[in-house]
Structure 1
Amino acid sequence: MSTAIETDVLTTRDGPLGIVTINRPQRLNAVTPAAGEQLRAAFIELDADPDIRAIVLTGAGRGFCAGADIVGGTVGGARGVLIDVWNPLVTTMLSTDVPIIAAINGVAAGAGVSLALACDLRVAAQSARLQLAFTKIGLLPDAGATWLLPRIVGLGRANELALLARDLKADEALQWGLVNRVCEDGNALDAAKALGSEIAELAGSVAAVKWAHQRAFDSTLAAQLGYEADTQGWLQEQPDFTEAIKAFREKRSAHRAPRTPGLRP
């Protein structure tokens, strides 16, 4: 079943997968403030659906996302749009229980790179490129890019990409660890859905792994060790663990418990 949220963002449910498509191919899927709000609403809706276990984000046509659509200017300027639209969008993506996979089917530029970075996994088509050209126009990467990029690829490579306004091809992005898979052109969505299907077969603790990894960079070792111990104790009380132990003893596959949105230790 497919549902369109107006015209700029499409959501599709494919079994346990939610597919979110930026649907502005005539603008290489550059995101207007209205489209940004629709994207955030789509992630919130899918994350609240207990039948959804992974979300795939992609773009219609030949591009993933060309960043913010600034044709005609923006009310309040860049600062206002970031505070009102992009920052809440990226925060929502990072806080979902359900892992998000980017299917980078073409160019990702500017804040479009930020959207890819805010996903938990990234698949890129062979001809896809990632561009952070802000220093060519006197600005800096935004929508979370300066926080996410160094954490994913390290400070040195983050500086190379953003300071030098590099145009990074898919194969090099794979070498850097910026993307997790590179596939043939036209197959990015299918490859991302395949990863999503793998996640859908796993226990609900995938959400706990996402939470733990996100907090690790701002945590001390002692605090993280305590968090792991507390969360592990909580997970052992959840139905997935009980069923996994029972299935192991009975030498069969485990039956996954329904996902409970928003359930955290």
Structure 2
Amino acid sequence: MTDQPQMQDVVTLERRGAIGVITLNRPEQRNSVNRALSDALRAAVKAVEVDPALRVTVLRGAGRVFCAGMDLKAFASREIEGVLDGEGGFAGFVRLDRTKPVIAAVHGAALAGGLEIMLACDMVIADRSTKFGLPEAKLGLLAGAGGVVRLAARIPVVKARELALTGRTFLAEEADRLGLLNRITEDGGAFDAAMVLADDIVESAPRSVAAGLALSRYTELDDEGRAWVRNDALFADIFASDDALEGARSFAEKRAPVWAGH
């Protein structure tokens, strides 16, 4: 039985057998993350967690892109309470405790916080033309929602530094070579491929899946726990800086930033 989501909802949850399909649904805003989306994504993931009939989640984005990150217009006007520091961290998701696997079906672009949401998922399927990147340094910000921490843990650290410090975008082929993807599909195929993978997982024993997921995260979470302490201190300093506000304003105003260095 498939739930029929209300399309005005900024996040929708459909039940397709034992698979929960969560859709980021701000297509006109490139699924950028504001308070409403954060609250709704957290609620959707929690709904899957407490539903014994649901075993796996596929997370996707409506419209042209998976997610373009934080809503910088909301940031520039300081309308971001709860987006970064609510339960679960950024988007209500990147640090949320959960026990069921989440597969990201990525298309178009996963940039900034969008890439951080992807990195918080357990598996990733991406369309071939998808663009990835952490452009925060170009905006006077820091990829402090897991971007730097998780990239440095999963790919060669010199590559992680390059991507974090230059903010350059890269395509699915490079993401796959770096080990960030489970597989690449032709454009338009990521969601269907993610559903096939989810079906494969559903055929496994529920307790075995939960135990395997928990064990595979054991070392990762232990390392992240220590890294988050330093991450949060650095992020708080950057977030409060004049340059962070200038980066967001220059983006919203479509002009080059003028850095003050503080």
Q: TM-score range by the shorter chain?
A: 0.7 to 0.9
Between the aligned residues of both structures, percent identity stands at: 38
Instruction: Give, in whole Å, the separation in 1 of the partners of 2:47 and 2:71.
Output: 24
Q: Report the Cα distance in structure 2 between the residues aligned to 1:91 and 1:132, rounded to whole angstroms.
A: 18
Q: 1:86 to 1:143 in 2, by over 3 A?
A: farther
Q: 1:28-69: CA deviations, max 9, x gaps?
A: 111111111100100000111111111000000110000011
Maintained 8 Å contact 1:37/1:89: no
- In terms of Rg, which structure is larger? 1
Which of 94, 112, 116 pairs up with 1:90? 94
Q: CA deviation at 1:154?
A: 3.4
1:215 matched residue in structure 2: 218
CA drift of 1:79 comes to 8.0
Contact in 1 for aligned 2:35/2:80 (Cα 8 Å): no
CA distance in 2, matches of 1:122, 1:54: 13
C-alpha contact (below 8 Å) 1:75/1:81 kept by paired residues: no
Aligned residue for 2:237?
none
Q: Identify the residue that residue 248 of structure 2 maps to in structure 1.
A: none
- Residue type matched to 2:53 in 1? D
- What is the CA–CA distance in structure 1 between the aligned matches of 2:201 and 2:76, rounded to whole Å? 38
Q: Is the 8 A contact 2:35 2:81 kept in 1?
A: no
- Name the CA shift for 1:76/1:28 in 2 (closer, same or farther; >3 Å): closer
Match of 1:242 in 2: none
Give the residue type in structure 1 aligned to 2:95: T
3-state SS of paired residue (2:5) = strand
CA RMSD of aligned residues (A): 2.1
Amino acid at match of 1:210: L
CA distance in 2, matches of 1:18, 1:80: 25
Kept in 2: contact 1:62–1:105 (CA 8 A): yes
Q: State how far apart, in whole Å, the 2-side matches of 1:217 and 1:194 are.
A: 26
Q: How does 1:168-187 map to 2 (within 5 A)?
A: 168-187=170-189
Runs of 5+ unmatched residues, structure 1: 221-265
Q: CA deviation at 1:16?
A: 1.0
C-alpha distance in 2 between matches for 1:12 and 1:81: 24
CA distance in 1, matches of 2:146, 2:4: 29
Q: Normalized against structure 2, the TM-score is what?
A: 0.77
Confirm whether residue 2 of structure 1 aligns to residue 3 of structure 2: yes
> Quick check: 203-212 or 125-134, which moved more?
203-212
Kindly report which structure 2 residues correspond to 1:47-62, keeping only aligned pairs within 5 A, or say none: 47-62=49-64
Larger mean Cα displacement after TM superposition, 148-157 or 182-191: 148-157
Note the alpha carbon deviations across 1:62-96, whole angstroms, 9 max, x for none. Answer: 1000001122446756686311266142122xx32
Counterparts of 2:88 and 2:209, CA distance in 1: 26
Which sits farther off after the overlay, 162-171 or 203-212? 203-212
Helix, strand or coil at the partner of 2:142: coil
Task: State the match for 1:250 in structure 2.
Answer: none
Distance in 2 (alpha carbons) for counterparts of 1:218 and 1:111: 19
Q: Secondary structure at the match of 1:84?
A: coil
Structure 1 partner of 2:143: 141
Instruction: State the partner residue of 2:26.
Output: 24
Contact 1:86–1:143 (CA under 8 A) maintained in structure 2: no
Task: In structure 2, list runs of 5 or more residues that go unmatched.
Answer: 224-262
Residue type of the alignment partner of 1:107: A
Distance 1:171 1:74, change over 3 A: same
Shift of 1:138: 1.7
Could you state the TM-score of these two structures normalised by the residue count of structure 1?
0.76
Aligned residues of 2:20 and 2:56 also touching (Cα < 8 A):
yes
Q: What is the CA–CA distance in structure 1 between the aligned matches of 2:77 and 2:32, rounded to whole Å?
A: 17
Provide the rounded CA distance (Å) in 1 between the counterparts of 2:75 and 2:147.
22
Provide the C-alpha distance between the structure 2 equivalents of 1:219 and 1:58, rounded to a whole number of angstroms: 28
Q: 2: distance between equivalents of 1:171 and 1:50?
A: 37
Matched residues in 2 for 1:47 and 1:159: separation?
A: 34
Separation in 1, partners of 2:217, 2:22: 22
Q: Alignment partner of 1:210: what SS?
A: helix
Q: Which amino acid aligns with 2:168?
A: R
